[in-house]
């Protein structure tokens, strides 16, 4: 059995991290979809300056994706040092 190269180990580690962060985002998105499908009245409430929860949740998903991308890059950079 041949040894795996360091590059293959790094790629596997990076992939695992990416999948973990993707799973976190997928859970948040699944919550949005489930609310939209089974409890749309909840998304109609407007708790903040007349903006409904659907818009707030959607913006949260967009901002969350950006934050997860920054976190991924930061963790990889920190690991490379």
Domains in the chain, number? 1
DSSP string over the chain: -PPPPHHHHHHHHHHHHHHHHHHHHHHHHHHHHHHHHH-HHHHH---BTTB-HHHHHHHHHHHHHHHHHHHHHHHHHHHH-
Is residue 42 included in any domain, yes or no? yes
**Domain annotation covers residue 15:** yes
Q: Which of 3-7, 14-18, 61-65 has the highest mean pLDDT?
A: 61-65
- Residue 3: the pLDDT is 66
What's the whole-model pTM score? 0.81
Structural domain harbouring 75: 6-80
pLDDT of residue 1: 46
The reply to whether 73 falls in a domain is: yes
| Span 24-65, pLDDT tens digits | 999 999 999 999 999 999 999 989 899 999 999 999 999 999
> Is 1 a domain residue?
no
Assess if residue 38 is contained within a domain. yes
26 in a domain, yes or no?
yes
Tell whether 20 is covered by a domain.
Answer: yes
């Amino acid at each position: 059995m041949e040894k795996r190269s360091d590059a293959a180990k790094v790629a596997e580690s990076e992939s695992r991290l990416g999948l973990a962060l993707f799973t976190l985002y997928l859970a948040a998105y699944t919550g949005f979809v489930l609310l939209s499908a089974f409890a749309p009245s909840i998304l109609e409430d407007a708790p903040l300056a007349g903006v409904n929860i659907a818009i707030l949740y959607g913006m949260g998903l967009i901002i969350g994706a950006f934050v997860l991308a920054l976190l991924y890059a930061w963790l990889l950079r920190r690991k490379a040092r």
